[in-house]
Amino acid sequence: MTRFIVKIGLLKKPGFVALLELARDKLDDSSTPLKLWIPCDEFAFLDVVRESWILSSMNNDLAEDFGYIDNVVELWKELNERFGQSNGPLIYQLKKEIDNPNQENMTIVTYYGKLKKLWDEMQNLRAFPTCTCGALSKCSCLFLKKMAEFEEEDKMMKFLLGLNGGLTEQSLMCCPWIPCQA
């Protein structure tokens, strides 16, 4: 029944809405969940659209298990709780590739592009935590900036370590330190 109500809510056509409003006027509020059929505002309508889209993309047996949830946020949380996968294996694989870089037959540009892609994927999976208490916004020691600089240095070292033939300490001392723009 809930899926039916969700789909009715999507039929936001003037004639149909007028018919439902007329029916609602004839019935007292306690006798039917008719008010639920017509979204009260645009945000509620979008919520109904999203919920309907998610439920419609499932097979019927699975969708019936989630039909009792009437809020798209709660639906998404429930789906994530039941079926969300751990990123552990993917993080492990990325970390393995990042920690053991090797240029092999690639040009330097291609090699850097490969590492950059791995760094970006890792950043998406394990972003640096954000401060929620507000203490870092008042920080005068530039802690976050220093942490970002350390991360950039680590990326540069991994890039250099994976180059064919490597670089000697002598060549590193001769060249100015150029941070990796990742």
Where residue 43 falls among pLDDT bands split at 50, 70, 90? low
Residue range 47-74: mean pLDDT, rounded: 78
Grade residue 53 by pLDDT with cuts at 50, 70 and 90: confident
- Which two tokens mark 85? 């996968």
Question: What is the value of pTM for the model shown?
Answer: 0.50
| Angle ∠(74,89,158) on CA atoms, nearest 5 | 120
DSSP annotation string for 65-101: HHTT---HHHHHHHHHHHH---SHHHHHHHHHHHHS-
Tell me how far apart the alpha carbons of residues 69 and 167 are, in angstroms, rounded to a whole number: 59
Alpha-carbon Rg of the chain, whole angstroms? 27
114 falls in which pLDDT band (50, 70, 90)?
very high
pLDDT over 70 at 127, yes or no: yes
Kind and range of the H or E run holding 173? helix 169-174
How many percent of the chain have pLDDT more than 70? 65
Query: Per-residue pLDDT tens for 20-36?
Result: 455 555 444 555 554 55
Q: Are 163 and 111 within 8 A, CB to CB?
A: yes
Distance CA 181, CA 85 (A): 31
The number of residues in the chain equals 182
Q: Say whether pLDDT at 95 is over 90.
A: yes
Supply 104's token pair.
């092999």
| CA distance linking residue 56 with residue 47, whole number of Å | 14
Give residue-wise pLDDT tens across range 140-156: 888 888 988 999 999 99
Q: What is the pLDDT of residue 82?
A: 79
DSSP string, 44-62: HHHHHHHHHHHHHTS-HHH
- pLDDT of the residue at 41: 54
Asked if residues 101 and 110 have their Cβ atoms less than 8 Å apart, the reply is no
Nearest to 83 by CA among 49, 120, 54: 54
